[in-house]
Chains A and B, each alone.
Chain A
């Protein structure tokens, strides 16, 4: 494969695609709502109407508006159909030759779509994730070519550093700095790991990217491998994402066939192979050192850092470990340039972020927005607000994050602002809560999650989460006293400061943030000591001293 061949594949594919393309979402969300039958019925309708030469029904990745699936979009006209059923599906094809489409027509100019800025998800919902030609036609693998032939590894690292990209897994560590560290470590054998062990309740950004655009990740990993001097990469995906695994496997096969992975990529001296490792269902394996242990075949327990994986990671070799969404940004940065990317977002947080907008909100789904957009814009404009009622709080960052009250909805979405209000960016779950939600129960839900997911290695996380959960339970059952509340708060700080890994260090965050903003809800649940019921302490004491 060389540059001319790559362009030729792209041209041939574009030529083939010039007719009407009916995009039908085949990602997990829409699939669960029967989108495969929708697609089959549309394909049959095309055949029946003899439109095969100018209409193509394409199974594509996620379009984002998951709450209204199955989604079908007719391009280039940009006609969006929502909640299409297998029965109404064929009418979409009929509409292409004089008929009328019966499914609900969506508004592609609604703020939900128009306020988005798609970099990572630019191809999602537009191309067939199971065909590498579709990806190449959309400019795919050109970033890798550019990196290999126009840039030195140090240049690539420099581009990423100047772009201001920060880790999208939640921590927000500068990606360029991480790459430079691994790149400068001595050693012949290095590894690139893609962390696809997304496990926050309510978050499904990485799944969507892997299902909708698997080649974007492969390209990002290959560029990373070139930049740091690694020839081997692993994608760690959780077993609960079977479709993502299947599509990645197919993508790796296709890329190998075209010489875009394997040895001598683009006829250069660069070799890079990618293997998939499947997680067995432990949330803690999203923590980098636990993930590395899991790939090595050991129990997925975190270990103390330092040494960081950049110094001693997979099989004690220097290892670069990045989240799916981080790697999905790489190709665009190399193609578009660091300056373009650094022009998007805020002073300290560059680029875009995908959020899974869920909870008590009209428009559920995935959105990719530029950093610095306010929570209010996301929740009220894009999300359409709460169906009946008021926004009470927005939870970001999953079990590691916190609840941001409605009064702080004007907080811009970037790493530092969210941290300042006691939450965090996290991997991108955003759960909207209305006035009927009990914040104590929300805190209890997340603590129950952490209690079940702690690996059990370090004492504060293993036993602290159990005790915190039982204290929260006591509160919800109105059996707790002020002393319990004080104990709980003290224990929160202890678990936060003494735990071994990020899971324990952040597990008390949902409790601490709700304590900070919704203290009155905790107080309202406190049990009033019986002797205070209608009496003052003094009169009670007198009464008891008088009566025998």
Chain B
């Protein structure tokens, strides 16, 4: 195996042949935003956030699937790339119903992180407010298609790691959605081993553990009363 040397944002780096630009950037400590990339499963180059400019090539290349070559001069954060990344994130936010305040993944969401990373504070595009449905037929998990960004990480992790292939993509274009089994409710899919890999792979709050959602939080009014009256009644436990 030979080694390739290249430059990423001015930093020279040597890396094994066959590595991707994304791996090289990681090694060089250059952050490149990603959403559909997940360490350990195959890459599809679908979210287009990791596009980079390579000197001498007149189109933008996805870092996650482009192999390094000797002498490559890569720019990962030009003004053009920043603009396009921001627009990509804006498009994603306008496409689904991404309301952080009531989302299970709030503060633990890669889409949210990327929005912060690229500096997106609002979307200039019309919000589509889709009504894509929620499937809570599974006994442990649920999927809210309105929060899905179609990164297909769940599809790949289920197929490539768990080997169950519960998930796939149905329809096309704006009508695309993640389908379970043979377009059955998730809970009825025999192939599902309830391993939860898709929950962990999901970058947003689309696939979640039951009990985590805002609506499922049980308000404990009795506790409030207990706190207020604890001293008077000398009851410190309940």
Residues of A within 8 A of B (CB): 282, 284, 299, 301, 303-304, 451-460, 462-467, 470, 487, 490-491, 494, 497-500
6 tightest CB-CB pairs across the interface, nearest first?
Answer: A456-B176, A304-B45, A463-B91, A454-B173, A463-B95, A498-B48
A464 to B126, CA, bound (A): 11
Query: What would be 30 A-B contacts, judged by CB atoms less than 8 Å apart?
Result: A282-B172, A301-B169, A303-B45, A304-B44, A304-B45, A304-B62, A304-B65, A454-B173, A454-B174, A455-B172, A455-B173, A455-B176, A456-B174, A457-B46, A457-B150, A458-B45, A458-B46, A459-B47, A459-B149, A460-B48, A462-B173, A463-B94, A464-B91, A466-B173, A490-B83, A491-B87, A494-B83, A497-B59, A497-B60, A498-B84
A353 to chain B, nearest CB (A): 26
Contact of B91 among A284, A454, A460 (CB under 8 A): A460
B43 to chain A, nearest CB (A): 8
**Of residues 100 to 127 in B, which have CB atoms within 8 Å of A's CB atoms?**
124-126
Which residues of chain A are within 8 angstroms of B51 by Cβ–Cβ distance? 498
Task: Tell whether, in the assembled complex, residue A303 and residue B173 are in contact, meaning their CB atoms are under 8 Å apart.
Answer: no
Task: Tell whether, in the assembled complex, residue B168 and residue A490 are in contact, meaning their CB atoms are under 8 Å apart.
Answer: no
Task: Tell whether, in the assembled complex, residue A456 and residue B124 are in contact, meaning their CB atoms are under 8 Å apart.
Answer: no
Beta-carbon nearest neighbor of A299 in chain B: B169
Chain B: interface residue total (CB-CB under 8 A) = 33
Residues of B within 8 A of A (CB): 44-48, 51, 59-60, 62, 65-66, 83-84, 87-88, 91-92, 94-95, 124-126, 128, 149-150, 168-169, 171-176
Interface SS, A side: helix
Task: Tell whether, in the assembled complex, residue B174 and residue A451 are in contact, meaning their CB atoms are under 8 Å apart.
Answer: yes
A470 to B91, CA, bound (A): 13
Q: A457-B44, A467-B94 are in contact. Are A462 and B176 (CB under 8 A)?
A: yes
A10 to B94, CA, bound (A): 65
Task: Tell whether, in the assembled complex, residue A498 and residue B45 are in contact, meaning their CB atoms are under 8 Å apart.
Answer: no
Extra 5 A-B pairs, beta carbons < 8 Å, given A304-B44, A491-B87: A455-B172, A460-B48, A467-B91, A487-B125, A497-B60
Task: Tell whether, in the assembled complex, residue A459 and residue B88 are in contact, meaning their CB atoms are under 8 Å apart.
Answer: yes
Which residues of chain B are within 8 angstroms of A458 by Cβ–Cβ distance? 45-48
A323 to B65, CA, bound (A): 27
B63 to chain A, nearest CB (A): 11
Beta-carbon nearest neighbor of A452 in chain B: B173
Residue among B94, B173, B174 with max Cβ neighbours from chain A (10 Å):
B173
A462 to B47, CA, bound (A): 10
B61 to chain A, nearest CB (A): 9
A457 to B171, CA, bound (A): 11
Which residues of chain A are within 8 angstroms of B174 by Cβ–Cβ distance? 451, 454, 456, 462-463, 466
A303 to chain B, nearest CB (A): 7
Task: Tell whether, in the assembled complex, residue B173 and residue A498 are in contact, meaning their CB atoms are under 8 Å apart.
Answer: no
